[in-house]
Amino acid sequence: MNTQKKALALILHSSSYDRLYQGMSCALAALALGREVKLFFTYWALETLRKDASNALMLDEEANAHKEILEKNLKEGHMQKISELYVQAKTMGAKFYACTQSMGLLNISRDELVKEVDKSMGLTTFLVEALEDQILFI
């Protein structure tokens, strides 16, 4: 039996709060269980790593139907802002990677990203780094 804990690699694509929250919940749970976690931010999720990113509640069409519930829970402190989850995950040892292709598409420079970002790389490089990991796309 293999007792080594498999690392968790998450590919985050959306900037919708519900999707990011679930991705970060998976990351934080894995970190709490002693697993290594790698987070790859691409497309709209990458925009949430900008230094000037707003903590405004961004929702896709499906989640927008539940906007009042989410806003209420955020206001009452039952749910955390995404930026707070990023800091918590980084403090627990998560590795943050920014997609270079998305950086080019969105015209985002490395200097514009928060300090939690460890590296920028392409998807192929990330997949090579995560070759032995459990990979989830959110």
Identify whether 1 is part of a domain: no
Compute the average pLDDT of residues 111-121: 96
Question: How big is the CA angle at 5 (ends 35 and 80), to the nearest 5 degrees?
Answer: 20
Does position 125 have pLDDT exceeding 90, yes or no?
yes
13 contact partners, CB below 8 Å, separation of at least 6: 19, 42, 43, 44, 45, 137, 138
Report the mean per-residue pLDDT for the chain: 92
Does position 94 have pLDDT exceeding 90, yes or no?
yes
Identify whether 110 is part of a domain: yes
At 136 the pLDDT is 96
Question: What is the tally of structural domains in the chain?
Answer: 1
Domain CATH code at residue 88: 3.40.1260.10
Identify whether 88 is part of a domain: yes
Name the pLDDT band for 8 (thresholds 50, 70, 90). Answer: very high
At 41 the pLDDT is 98
pTM of the full structure: 0.90
Identify whether 74 is part of a domain: yes
pLDDT per residue as tens digits for the range 42-90: 999 999 999 988 777 787 777 777 778 887 877 888 889 999 999 999 9
Compute the average pLDDT of residues 129-135: 96
Identify whether 3 is part of a domain: no
Identify whether 30 is part of a domain: yes
Domain hosting 111: range is 8-137
Backbone angles phi, psi at 125, to 5 degrees: -60, -40
- Report residue 52 as tokens: 């000037």
Does position 1 have pLDDT exceeding 50, yes or no?
no
8-state DSSP, 29: H
